[in-house]
Amino acid sequence: MRPAMSTTPRLTAIVLAAGSGSRSGANVPKQYRLLGGKSVLAHSVGAFLAHPRVDDVLLVVAADGEVDVRAALGALGDRVRFTAGGATRRDSVAGALAFLAGDANPPRHVLVHDSARPGLPAEVIGRLVAALDDGAAAAMPVLPVVDTLVGSDGNVVDRAALRRVQTPQAFIFDILRAAHLAWTSPDEPTDDAQMVRAIGDEIVPVDGDARLEKITLPGDHERMERLLSQNLVSRTGMGFDVHRLEKGEALWLGGILVPHSHGLSGHSDADVAIHALVDAILGALGEGDIGSHFPPADPQWRGASSDKFLAFAAERVAAQGGVIDHADLTIICEAPKIGPHREAMRARLADVMGVGIGQVSVKATTTERLGLTGRREGIAAQAVATIRLPGNR
């Protein structure tokens, strides 16, 4: 998690994921279902983690649900905090606010988001944060109502003044907590903005986004899959890397520690397989290479786990509203044998990228004892990554 910048208010995103999703008609909670190769929940969490103004993500889960949530998040689960939800949405948010109030450095701003809205664009987060920066007590994304509306009597309702409200909603932390503490109505509020309005504070509307539709009813998930597929364009990137073998070094390869007499030498842990894969993903994004984001001259990356680089690349895809479809990795070496470790590598790489193991291929080959890999002086790797990004990018 990114440390708070001294020049900006600390901001925590609260993601609500304690519900059962019973109205969606699925046999698993809707937040755990796969959408574009990763869970609905991972889409929402990844969008927050990738945003430069979000310092911390607090996930509200069912009392016994942390194991399932971690499985749905993969490596993202190591970068968020968890707290137990309550019987109602209001209870869950109130519990999250109480949890944050106990921090040594509580946030000044919070975002509250329903995890079942996976299509969260960075631009919406930016507009909400900007509203708080400009002095608003609260802000919410809204969309105009375009359909004709009628009342129970069949008469047309004037839609000109109506707006559809989405999440995340943004608040000054102390104001939202005060609104929860002041709520005495026997009726459950539909959202947090309603509660803040009840204590007399204004909610600033900002432009919402059609991609923020909520998965609620049967068919919504399939509609979201179709929308995701229609609006995304495939892009492919290639990566290549090579590192020297040295006796006595640990051999990190494909995200796992491989027993061997020699290890790879480099500024980080020198995981040549992950480095090639990171370059492939960044290439598909058109965002340079691993060295431009993690300069080898920077001492903070000395000995760093390459998992961090791969997680960063995957988050960059998510931040642009994209998905990783497939990663194909070839490791080139005489030794060690890759076969016994292939499945562990696939599982680890899939976990870090937040995709299914079936979307990751790991292969190995030799150079018939030719060249530096043939002489066992080093290990090389090449990778191809296929991603999909919004077509208007």
Confidence of residue 28 (pLDDT cuts 50, 70, 90): low
Q: What is the pLDDT of residue 40?
A: 86
Residues 6+ away with beta carbon under 8 Å from 274: 254, 255, 306, 307, 309, 310, 349
Read off the pLDDT of each residue in 364-378 and give the average, rounded to a whole number: 94
Which fold, 11-218? Answer: Spore Coat Polysaccharide Biosynthesis Protein SpsA; Chain A (3.90.550)
Contact 294, 274 (CB under 8 A): no
Q: How far apart are CA 34 and CA 355, in angstroms?
A: 9
Looking at the DSSP assignment, which residues form a beta bridge with residue 185?
A: none
pLDDT at 20: 58
pLDDT confidence of residue 105: 93
Domains 11-218 and 231-390 share a fold: no
Residue 241 confidence (pLDDT) above 60:
yes
**Predicted local distance difference test score (pLDDT) of residue 334:** 94
Looking at 114-202, list the stretches that DSSP marks H as alpha helix, in order from N- to C-terminal side.
Answer: 122-133, 173-182, 192-198
Terminal-to-terminal C-alpha distance of the chain: 27
Residues of the chain with pLDDT > 90, as a percent, come to 64
Q: Could you tell me the two tokens for 320?
A: 């642009």
pLDDT at 132: 97
Higher pLDDT, 298 or 276: 276
What's the 3-state SS for 199-229? CCCCEEEEECCHHHCCCCCCCHHHHHHHHHH
Report pTM: 0.68
Average pLDDT over residues 184-192: 93
Question: How many whole angstroms from its chain centre is CA 251?
Answer: 29
**What is the model's pLDDT at position 1?**
38
Q: Which sequence spans correspond to the domains of the chain?
A: 11-218, 231-390
pLDDT single digits (tens) 143-169: 998 888 888 888 888 888 899 999 999
Q: What is the pLDDT of residue 232?
A: 79
Q: What is the pLDDT of residue 393?
A: 53
266-282: average pLDDT: 95
| Listed range (191-205, 258-272, 291-305, 342-356) with the worst mean pLDDT | 291-305
Crossing angle (nearest 10°) for helices 272-285 and 307-319: 20
- Is 194:176 a contact under the CB 8 Å cutoff? no
Band of residue 75 on the pLDDT scale cut at 50, 70, 90: confident
pLDDT value at 6 more than 70: no
Tell me what pLDDT residue 215 has: 85
Span of 102-116, 205-219, 324-338 with lowest mean pLDDT:
205-219
**Rounded average pLDDT over 314-337:** 91
More confident: 94 or 217: 94
Predicted pLDDT at 25: 43
Burial label for 387, CB within 10 Å (0-12, 13-18, 19+), is buried
Q: Which homologous superfamily does the CATH classification assign to the domain defined by 231-390?
A: 2-C-methyl-D-erythritol 2,4-cyclodiphosphate synthase (3.30.1330.50)
b/e for 326-356, b at 16 or more Cβ within 10 A?
Answer: ebbbbbbbbebebeebbeebbbbbbbbbbbe
Quote the mean pLDDT of the chain. 89
